Every structure is written in C-alpha cells, then in structure tokens.
A and B are shown apart, each in its own frame.
Chain A
Amino acid sequence: MDLLPDARQEALAARARSLVAEADAPVLWDRWAENGWFDGGDGSTLVDHALRFRELGRALVPGPYLATVLARRLVAAVGAVESGVELEAAAVVAALAVPCSPVSVTAVDGSPAGARLRGRLRVLDGTGATHVLLVTPTGAALIEADALPAGDATRCLDPQVALTALTAADVPAALWMGGGDLFTDAAVLAAACASGIAEATLRASTDFAKTREQFGKPIGAFQAVKHRCADMAIRAEAAWCQTAYAALCVDAERSDAAFQAHTAKVVAGDAAIRNASANIQNHGAVGCTVENDAHLFLKRAWVLEEVCGARREHLSALLDLPAPE
C-alpha cells in the first residue's frame, strides 16, 4: 500500500493547482468541465478527485464543485444498474442540500425514480444549478431545481457561499439511490477539501511566522508559536494521509471503505477547523480583520464540517461498524 502519489497523480495535482492559481472563478469552472474533471470521464478514480478537491480547498475556490461531481457519480451509478432513467450526466450542475431536520425520503418500490421528499433544507450555491443533491447515510436523492420552491435567500457564514432555506413538501426526486455509497464518496471529497484548508492555513502561518518580527526576531523563533505550527503540521498530515487512504479503500472496494471515509471526514474536518483557528491566533490582530484570508479559511471549514454528514453522524456510524481488518 503506497500512500504517496505516483508520477501520474503528481502531474494531475500539479495541473489542477496551476489551473486554480491562474483562472478566475467562471473560467476555472469551464476549464474544469473541458478537462472532464466533473465526470471522471478520463478514468478518474476517487483518489484523483480527492487530489483535485484538496487543491480547491487549499485555494478556497467557490462554486458547486463538490455537489456536481457527486451528482454525476450518482447518475453514472444509477445508469449502471440500467434503471431506465434518462438523464445526461454532463448537463447536471448540482447544489448541495443540508437537511435542517431529518428529511423523509419515500422511495417508490425501490425504484431509482419517483422517490418523494419532505422536509426543510438549506441549499448551498443554488444559483444556476439544474439540480439539488441530498446525500444521507441511507441514500442519495437528486431533485430538479425547478421542482423545489424558490425559498428564502439568507446570508451564509461563508461570504463566498450562496445560501437558501426552503421547505420541500412532497417533492418528487429525479433520481434516488438507496445505500451509503454516495455518502462515503461525499465524506472523502469533503475531507479532501478540508485537508487542503488544514494545509493552506499551516502554510500561511509558517510563512507569516518567518517574516513577522516582534521583540527583534521572527515570531516563529518563539516556541509558543513554533509548537502551535508543529501541531498544525501534525493535524494536516493526519488529515491528508487518512483522506488518501480512505479514497484508496473506496477505489479498491474494500470492506472497510465506509469506516475509513467516516474517519477521514472526522479527522480532516477537525484539522481544518483547528488549523484555521490557530492560523488566526498566529496572525494576531491581522487575523481578526478581513484584510487577511484567515477568516475565510475558518468559515469554509465550518461549511465543510456541516455538509456531507456532520461530525456526530460520522462518529455514531463509526461506533456501529466493525473495526477494520
């Protein structure tokens, strides 16, 4: 089991990184689509997707990348069971739904079509989306955006995320897939974004600690700051190692893939929030204003914490599963 990226994966991550650095938001979305990175049509494994989502997380890229990749995986998976549901994956742009309270989904005869949803949802980045995606431990539903009420636009904790609250009163889903497979994928990719945040904030803190001087020396020479940076490095390492391992387990269809994915979401989510917090402390007053990106990392980390299953859901799932071999 080699956990370091091979030459092909190094190249893939480098390509995503340079694209993210060069292109502005709308251009980046188009380039992502041109490269087929939403679909995995280039034979992308979950590890490949995770490497790219790590870059999106690192650079705080806004937009419904996560939901769109997941939605297209859902369409591909359902298509594979020859459901008779016709939906062109490449046309799907999905927004992520976060249930405010338990949302009931009633599947009709186990069929991929015709499931009905009831409950209150928050929808992230819904502008321009063709569909809304709800991923839960027991199944995933893709709903046509037009089938849902417009809802109320509200202000999101993360200023780069558009947020709408709405109530689905018996809305039909375009697609429904029972089981936790998509929830597992979602946990891994959200963990990849969170790992990127843990790494980016570590980098921001160490760069700052090398140049910012107080008492006549760089603040990174003081153990209080240096050791906090060391703790950030430990959390970032744990986050990415576990995320990469979970993605490998999913790709290899190992029996402990779900266990590893729950773990990745918990560990990387924790690393993102705690590193983003430490990064604010390391920046002192600079970190308490919007003139520095430190606040954006913290806010995005909280968005990632609440999507694709919050910590408590993943923890309780971890207690119910057998320990991995």
Chain B
Amino acid sequence: MTDADLAFREEAKAWLAANVPREPQPEDGVAMREFDMAWQARQYEGGWAGISWPVEYGGRALSSLRQMIWHEEYARAGGPKIGTGFVGVNDAGPTLMLHGTEEQKRKHLPRILRGEEVWAQGYSEPGAGSDLAAMSTAGVVDGDDIVITGEKIWTSYADISDFQELLVRTNPDAPKHQGITWLICPLDPRPPGLTVEPIQTLSGPRHLCRVVYDEVRLPLTCVVGEIDGGWHVVSSSLYLKRGTGRIADQVSLARAVEDLLATARLPGSGGRAPAIEDDEIAHRLATARAEVAALRAMTYAELSRVDRNGTPGAEGSLGRIFHGELGQRVRLLAMDVLGPDALQMVGRADGQRDWVQEYLWSFTETIGGGTSDIQRSVIGERVLGLPRDR
C-alpha cells in the first residue's frame, strides 16, 4: 500500500464521517428507492461512485485496491446497505461495460452512477432456480422487435426499478445453454403486457417480486451481446459480482460480530446475567471473531488472484460458501445471545440492529445467486477435478 493509497483512505474516511446518512434506511418500496438514490447521488457528487469504472462513463479509473479501501471504510463508517442500487452498480453496469454497445453504455452507465436508474435482475423462474439454464421465458424475434412471454420470480426490487436484466429463450431447439439472450427490459414506465407483483419475504419486507410478461414487445436494440449468446454474457460477468463487492459485506459482518459481542456483555432484559458469562456462548463468540478474520484473509487471497490472473477462478466459490454459512452462524448465535428477547422483533427504527430480522434473512445467504449445494458441486468439479454428477 503506497502513501497515495493511505492518503486515499484518510480522504474516504473523512468524507464518510461527514456524509453517511444517519436516518435509518427504509426496508422496501418507493421510500427505500428514494433514500438509496439520494445517497448514491451524494456519493457521485463527492467523487466516490464508480471508483474503478472508466472515466468516460462517470468513473475515476482507479485501482481495485482503491475500490477495496473504499468498501472497507464505507462499512466501517456504518454506510447503509447498497440496497436498490445493488444490481445496477454491481451487475448491470459491469455487464454493459463488457458486452454493451457504445450507445447502451453511454445511455445507462452514467445514470447508474448518478443514482438516476434502478435495476432489477430477471433470471430465476418458477421452474428454473439453481438450474438457471433451464429457463423457458420465450423471446420471439419479429422483424425489428422481440416479443416476450413468460414469468420471472424472486426478483429483488422489480416493483421500484427502471430496468431489468432479462434472460429469455430465443432458440428452444438449441442445447439449453446456447439458446438464451440477455436483454435490457424497461420496467418504468411498464411496457404493455408486463405486470409486477411483490412477494413478502420471511423476514417481513416486500422486495422480492414476480414479473409476468404477456407478449411484451421490445425493440431489438435492447439486446446485449449476441442473440442466443446470453449465457456467455451472464457467466463472463459473474466474477465481477464477487471480489471487491464482497469486501463491504465482509466488513459489515465483522461489525455485526463486534455489535453482538457488545450486546452479549450487557445484562439481558429483566436483569438476566450477560450472555457472555455462559461458557458456550463465549466460546462461540470468540470462534465467530476468528472466522470473520479468516474470511478477510480469504478475500485478500482472492483479490490477489484477481490482480494476477484477472479472475478469481472457481476458487471464488470457496470464500462465498464460507461467508454465507458464517453469516448464518453469527445470526444463529445472536438468537442464543438474545434468549427470550428473540421473541420480540424491535425493528430498525431507532438505529438498533434487529437481530431477529437478520436471522430470518440469513437463510438467503446460502440460496441467493446459486445455492451452496450447487456451489459445492462447482468446487468439487472445477476446483478439485472430481467427476460430474449431473
């Protein structure tokens, strides 16, 4: 780390201390969108959005190390979760940079960074979860248009998004990975034939959605990459979602462990003894501290691989599973620390952590973006070279 990097860290720290919003982030709906986009715009104006993005699309073209420093300081300063900005900044943006036309890049990238566009994903279907390539939503080319019919599900924030990264099947006769196309589908205003319906999650908020397409007609200019080349578009940008983007989650998990430790040192409600006086709880808290530290070391190793090879390789799945399961262990431990207090959901209103909501949501950590079961097969086959099971 150079002196310039250290200066960058100090600058980031000072800016965050002065600018991180203190009011709680709404947990869904239009209020959440407005909060997230106002904060994104503020980061952009301060020069902190798109740190490693090219200058011509609104970024600063700095190293991935600077991006990582920013994520670390962001999480330490208690910056809000990226929320509705996630797909645009971490997935659609990088995907367009790799595969979009110049027109698509100029139209969307600066707006994503400025907090003017919210994106949703449109990958999973009722019949295609872990086996994503089995998806069947149809895209039929008709002159200069493509006509879409089918259903997507578990799409975060589709109800309040402007655009969707949409996978459709354009060639039902080709092998399943070869007939898929990646599209930019507008969600606001809704094209005729498109409906969005929020689904309540197990932890309360309503941000997962079902999106139904009934002969939705879009111009072919919305295709990203080649027709039938969508699987390549998806898989070549997958690694971008890991790496530096995970740093923020990891630092915030470290924060969760420290917050939990502080909670465990206080007396419980009704004058119960501090939870940490129980040897088993103390042992698990110390183990959580150790495992969060090990996760950080694994992420550094992953970033080192990215710097050397341009990709974390299939080894990226190792840290991903470790991270997801550790997140679950920490939240399970929180339930045991709370004891009878876990029965009462406190909400996030007064800046407290709602451990119960975090615990419930932690079940998604080994499901979203590919279940840990599938990830284990990926490790077995692509990292360890074991024979395929499918």
Contacts and interface: CB of A to CB of B under 8 A. Distances in A.
A231 B325 CA distance: 11
Contacts of A319: 261, 276, 282, 285-286, 289
A206 interface: yes
B289 A318 contact: yes
A84 interface: no
A113 interface: no
B324 to A, nearest CB: 11
A263 B322 contact: no
B133 interface: no
Contacts of A81: none
Interface string B307-332: 11000000100110110000000000
B300 A245 contact: yes
Interface string B362-375: 00000000000101
B376 A3 contact: no
Interface residues of B, number: 44
A262 interface: yes
B370 to A, nearest CB: 13
A238 B322 contact: yes
Contact of A315 (B290, B305, B376, B384): B290
Contacts of B375: 230
Contact of B308 (A4, A262, A267): A4
Contacts of A241: 294, 297-298, 300-301
B367 to A, nearest CB: 16
Contacts of B380: 220, 226-227, 229-230
A233 B383 contact: yes
A214 interface: no
A237 B254 contact: no
A290 interface: no
Contacts of A324: 293
A226 B387 CA distance: 9
B294 A238 contact: yes
B301 A223 contact: no
Contact of B293 (A3, A222, A260): A260
Contacts of A234: 318, 321-322, 379
Contact of A210 (B287, B298, B387): B387
B258 interface: yes
A2 interface: yes
A323 B253 CA distance: 13
B349 to A, nearest CB: 27
Nearest to B381: A226
Contacts of A314: 290
Contact of B290 (A237, A244, A262): A262
Interface of A: 1-4, 202, 206, 209-210, 217-218, 220-223, 225-227, 229-231, 233-234, 237-239, 241-242, 244-245, 259-260, 262-263, 266-267, 312, 314-316, 318-319, 323-324
9 contacts: A210-B387, A217-B387, A218-B386, A223-B389, A225-B386, A230-B383, A314-B290, A315-B287, A315-B290
